[in-house]
Amino acid sequence: MREAPIGVFDSGVGGLSVLAEIQRLLPNESLLYVADCGHIPYGEKTPEFIRQRCSVMAGFFREQGAKALVLACNTATVAGVADLRRDFPDWPIVGMEPAVKPAAAATRSGVVGVLATTGTLQSAKFAALLDRFATDVRVITQPCPGLVELIESGDLHSAELRQLLQGYVEPLLASGCDTIILGCTHYPFLKPMLKSMIPADISLIDTGAAVARQLQRLLAERDLLAGGPNQPVRFWTSADPAYFKNILPLLGQSAGEVQNFSL
């Protein structure tokens, strides 16, 4: 069981930023990754639809013998993680949430910005995070339509992307934010461009590394940490496998085999 793989999924390529953090912290683990690109973006789908996709993914990873599940998607976590934990109480399940707590602790100006999808920002879970951890800070939220689609196309450098991102970041800077939460797993891929737009003393915070640490903790508790050596990452996508394979090297992954996910 220790050498069984870990299942990771996202609506698209964004979860590869989380996958990379898991690979860094847990190099002995074998990983499975499903990109549900045929249904992206999740942020514009109903909670019922997203819960259904989460259930499909969980069933698939169970069939593959996965020992744990990572929802590498904020929107999927908001909609589906509670149901999955209820349905699979024996399974270590790790979700995402915007890093409100560490950002509230890090800010010096008392103003925190959040870049996220509309679905995440409108969720009750995000509101509860603010109530719990951000009572003493001012939080400026910025929905970012269009960013996910550009990153999904492999665009990390275009003038169109820069203009769109600049328009989302400027209101946060104007409000005095000194800490910006990257509230979508796609957005860490924009760090190089973001850093060229913001003063050097502004912190960018995402939750990929925290998710990897939580996964490590849950596996260790159950004596499920692998001894290695690991297997190459196996990829699936519900869109075009050839297209997805071409994107992988742009986002820091070796272009292994990509299979069609047709459930």
List, as residue ranges, the binding site.
10-11, 42-43, 74-75, 185-186
**Which tokens is 242 given?**
């050839």
Three-state SS annotation for 175-242: CCCCEEEECCCCHHHHHHHHHCCCCCCCEEECCHHHHHHHHHHHHHHCCCCCCCCCCCCEEEECCCHH
Set 37, 54, 73, 177: catalytic member:
73
Set 37, 54, 144, 184: catalytic member:
184
Active site residue 37: no
**Which tokens is 37 given?**
């690109």
What order of strands is seen across the sheet that includes strand 179-182?
A: 138-143, 111-116, 179-182, 203-205
Other Cβ atoms within 10 Å of 105 Cβ, number? 12
Binding residues for substrate: 10-11, 42-43, 74-75, 185-186
Active site residue 73: yes
Q: Which residues are catalytic?
A: 73, 184
